[in-house]
Structure 1
């Protein structure tokens, strides 16, 4: 990794370490280690601190596979950095004996807190300046596609985006974080990392759209296909007018 990227990653760690620590403490403290074996106990403060140390140690081991030097923008590098942390968090969780399905849930819950804070911060100016959920969504997505989801094409993000009839469409054909997770599996075997990525990153879009719209309604998002589910595209539709019955794929 070149000096500029090493410096950038060091800055990301300074920013995100306290954010993840706060989220982990809020989400994990008091939760069961195993839903099927409650006698194993619940997460204590000491467990959380040890888990975070393990997560950051694993992230150091995984970071070379992120191939950040090949990514074209700092925004793309940041999202892959966060995918490294997500993957490390899942691996550290199952190494502690947490069942994989439950580990995916816990990691997704911790990550959602972080993602929700980020989305809220980015969308605040557009929520203040417009009462129209469609405009809020469109303007927030435009901002996010400048940073961090800028799309210069593979190996960075590749996307076609447009707005029509009160909806915003984003058709993604390359996703660097998802590519990183697949690279981890190819080199070290499949231990559920892509499923953990899907349950967190890919399923955040439904509640994320509701956060951006900020009209007190659900149903601002749909996506028939998903790259991490072996489809060729993430064909997203961000609905300005909330719809009922829009549920994530299994």
Structure 2
């Protein structure tokens, strides 16, 4: 009878070992996933906060230089006529986006470019699209969840809401006209006339793009706006 028990005990011991190993693997996998999610949630947010601080310092220096030059070459100083700065270098800060609906604290320095490195810093301006205030389509893209999620709430915007874009000497005030969800392959939304590739633009438009739904890149959420007015930037 003892040999029989021994034979029964061997497979039983082996099964317990397998179960224990599987449990340890699942716990380890869970910890790895938790650490990864924590990195995406807090690690990237911290990186974006530090990047925004650097971009704001960069903008302060750039705007002081541009407004000084503007005052020197135009009688009456920089408040005379809002001017659009020269197209910035890739990865460099050049403007600020503000959305009053989200409160006065909602303010993001933007960079030229939409590469992975660019969007980790904040909203990025699509190279080749119109500059703020110009006739055509000014397009900005931004993360909806990670890296601070600057465009996390843009789906809440409704027709008539303001989107403000500050440059060195001007504030360009756009009003939302609508939004839609498209496939990532639909590049017509960034055309000079959104949805009409090849059409000649006659208005100054603004387009915001971000992933949809949250935590997924299956689609793109697009917010459309049109320029209502441009005015001298208050602190210029």
TM-score normalized with structure 2 length: 0.27
Structure 1 or 2, whichever has the larger Rg, is 2
Higher helix share: 1
* TM-score, normalisation: structure 1: 0.26
